[in-house]
Structure 1
Amino acid sequence: MTRLTKLSRSLVDRVVLVTGAASGMGRATAHLLADEGAKVGIVDRSGDALKAVAEEIRGVGGTVHAVVADITDPEAPAAAVAEVRAALGPLDGLVNNAGVSIHVPLEDPGFAEAWATTLAVNLTAQALFARAAIPDLVRHGDGRMVNIASTEGLGATAGIAPYTSSKHGVIGLTRSLAVEYGRTGLTVNAVCPGPIRTAMTAGIPDDAKEVFARRRTALRRYAEPEEVAQITVSLLLPAASYITGAVIPVDGGLTIRNA
């Protein structure tokens, strides 16, 4: 019997670069990609933690190359892409996951510095990684890019204007690149995590997490990083060939709940 589909769900030997891979959603994404047979380039500024992730992946038979980099340096994204390309081959996928959140009111003396740092990590670095990776991603007509935004890109919370602004920018960048490179077959999508148990939310007491989740999400709980990573990896599949410019909340129903 003839198979219905010829679209591949295999990531074997596809090269994918993941930023912010030393912990949280980035780490989970790197592990899932390696489990599926992809060759994974991982980038983070935290050298010891990144080395540990690389050792974890190699320990279960995965192929990985780690690059320690401060992505606020405008030269770092292109250098990281070049190093991963040299080690593993041309990129087939890019996951712009690295992010930072700084709670700072507009009138705070540290606002300007927080704004510059947040935009550099959360938005400018995504654009620069995309720029460096594009020649690889368009070469075969099946490149994949996933930019990690946030539910803050769909709304707003007081006191984190730099973060919220940067995540709105990620959604704009995603849509722009999807339109600009759609003719090449490259797909560009954004994932918007809601309340997730990561280092970014580690300072929130567990009881406060529980109260927030019960009040604000349909599923009434925080998610684990892997639950976001599973969606990210799905968007990297060759078979995910007709979804682009999408903005996908992975938020337990936070953005649909009125009360």
Structure 2
Amino acid sequence: MTDTLDLGLLDGFERALINDRLRLVYQPKVSLRTGKLVRVEALVRWDDEKFGAVPPSRFVPLAERHGLIDPLTHWGLDTAFAEWARWCAAGIDTGLAFNISAMSLEALDFPDLVTAKCAKHGVPSDHLVLELTEGATQPLTNLMDTLTRFRIKGIGLAIDDFGTGYSTLMQLRQLPFTEVKIDRFFVTDAPDHRDSAAVVRAVIALAHEIGLSATAEGVETDAQLKLLAAMDCDIVQGYRIARPLPPDELAGWIDWWSSDWKRLGIGD
């Protein structure tokens, strides 16, 4: 049942989508081995005159329930890919991570649509990683063919927020993921709590054993960075590296981060 507030949000969101009043910001992900930018995660933002800054956790479920998730996904892909092309022209080499709804995977032609958009904007398919939340992996086992088609096309697949949802190790083995993202809850506590550190270490080892890369979310301190490096984590993202950035701030961040990485001395 949709309440009055949700109806107002839905109407406002639909108008924002139609009138191009949404925007994307991009959070850098860096390699813990080299310190280099690996990819940026595209994150949708909606700032409304009436409702203020509305988080995706509010409007994405509404979009899923009311038939707007596909238009939102198409807009987001086109917007992110066009920005990638501008970065490429400016000499910035980066991959893209993009969050998708499990509902989008129900369309048999979705992999073809994504690769067509890659071709339209000149984005190599191996520069794209699609991220899905762990909670969505329950129905995803029924969509193996669609997920496999993405992998055949060279597009990566990441399971987000790993460790907090309902997936099993069997599902992780069965589904064609290329990356595991460790939930920020464990990352935050890891330097000071042995149990969280043990979970992080175990997930990284598990990922590597089955041929996946491990990404740690929510990294906010030097202590977390250095512990994750010692655990052989592959990629990190979080406020310690960068908050989600407007697209025109990425070049400046790259210069700042290069200097900061050297100061950290990780990998020396």
TM-score range, shorter chain: 0.3 to 0.5
Going by fraction, where is helix more abundant, 1 or 2? Answer: 2
TM-score (norm 2): 0.35
TM-score (norm 1): 0.36
